[in-house]
């Protein structure tokens, strides 16, 4: 028996989702230092088709070479969930819920019955972006902050399928995360969005599937142990 309670999730994007990973080597370094407090660019660099030019400001998606398909990292979904659990004030109401989501919860990509682990692949498979759009932005340089025109790759109305694994012992009782809370987190996530350009109201989606795999059977009152 698994120590996890597992949930199938499917998201359908309403319009466009924009890639937020920098496509130049210098920008990758700056991105990782800002987001993860590290100089280890391998955190996001793997599977990115990087450009050598430092002045080329473009963000996009990772590509899974085995399937020739673009994907988003599991950490992006977990980051959205962490933001939503905080906005819902569940971290205040439910003691330990922050730790549950951070350390006791995993997100695993899914294609059919196969788990693709940290790679949550956009479906149907896309070997390349559907288009590129320009946005006004800013970048930190040796001379300070300067305005730029940033290009962002996007996909139109893809779906994402993944599983959420949450430690079963952390979902018992009333003082920690339960399936209803996970649904609330994903419902808020619909309006928070995924990907970049969320300040422009991009990356919003609908949850079209949320179902528990082999949910525990509730004992009837008066039943013998």
Band the pLDDT of 176: cuts 50, 70, 90.
Answer: confident
Cα-based distances in Å from 67 to 36, 76, 121, 125, 187 = 28, 20, 9, 8, 30
125/20 Cα distance (integer angstroms): 19
Q: What are the pLDDT digits (tens) for 83-98?
A: 999 999 988 888 778 8
132 SS3 class: strand
Q: Which residue has 């819920």 as its token pair?
A: 97
CA angle in degrees (0–180, nearest 5) for 77-164-155: 40
Mean of pLDDT over the chain: 84
Q: Minimal CA–CA distance to 209: which of 125, 110, 130?
A: 110
Considering only CA atoms, which of 78, 141, 113 is closest in space to residue 8? 113
* Bridge partners, residue 57, by sequence: none
Which pLDDT band, with edges at 50, 70 and 90, does 23 fall under? confident
Least confident window among 120-124, 165-169, 190-194, 207-211: 165-169
Backbone angles phi, psi at 90, to 5 degrees: -70, -30
| Nearest CA-CA partner of 210 in 3, 1, 5, 2 | 5
Q: Which pLDDT band holds residue 25 (cuts at 50, 70, 90)?
A: low
pLDDT(55) > 50? no
Q: What is the pLDDT of residue 177?
A: 86
> Cα 63 from chain centroid?
15
Reported confidence tier of residue 165, pLDDT bands at 50, 70, 90: very high
**What pLDDT does 92 receive?**
85
Give the span between the Cα atoms of 72 and 120, in whole angstroms: 5
Which residues does 185 contact at the CB level (< 8 Å), separation at least 6?
Answer: 81, 84, 85, 88, 90
pLDDT digit string (tens) for 110-160? 999 999 999 999 999 999 999 999 887 666 666 777 676 788 999 999 999
154 close to 21: Cβ distance less than 8 angstroms: no
């Amino acid at each position: 028996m698994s120590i996890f309670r597992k949930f199938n999730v499917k998201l359908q994007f309403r319009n466009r989702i924009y890639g937020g990973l920098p496509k130049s080597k210098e920008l990758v370094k700056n991105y990782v230092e800002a987001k993860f407090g590290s100089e280890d660019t391998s955190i996001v660099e793997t599977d990115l088709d990087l450009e050598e030019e430092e002045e080329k400001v473009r963000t996009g998606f990772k590509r899974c070479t085995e399937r020739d398909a673009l994907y988003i990292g599991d950490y992006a979904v977990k980051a959205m969930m962490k933001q939503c659990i905080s906005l819902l004030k569940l971290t205040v109401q439910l003691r330990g819920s922050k730790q549950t989501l951070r350390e006791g919860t995993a997100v695993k990509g899914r294609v059919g019955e196969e788990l693709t682990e940290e790679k949550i692949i956009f479906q149907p498979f896309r070997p390349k972006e559907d288009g590129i759009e320009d946005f006004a932005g800013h970048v930190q340089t040796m001379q300070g902050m300067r305005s730029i025109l940033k290009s962002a790759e996007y996909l139109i109305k893809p779906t994402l399928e993944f599983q959420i694994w949450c430690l079963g012992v952390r979902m018992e009782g009333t003082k920690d995360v339960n399936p209803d809370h996970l649904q609330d987190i994903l419902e808020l996530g619909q309006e928070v969005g995924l990907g970049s350009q969320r300040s422009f109201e991009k990356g919003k989606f609908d949850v079209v599937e949320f179902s528990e795999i082999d949910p525990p059977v509730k004992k009837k009152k008066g039943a013998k142990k």
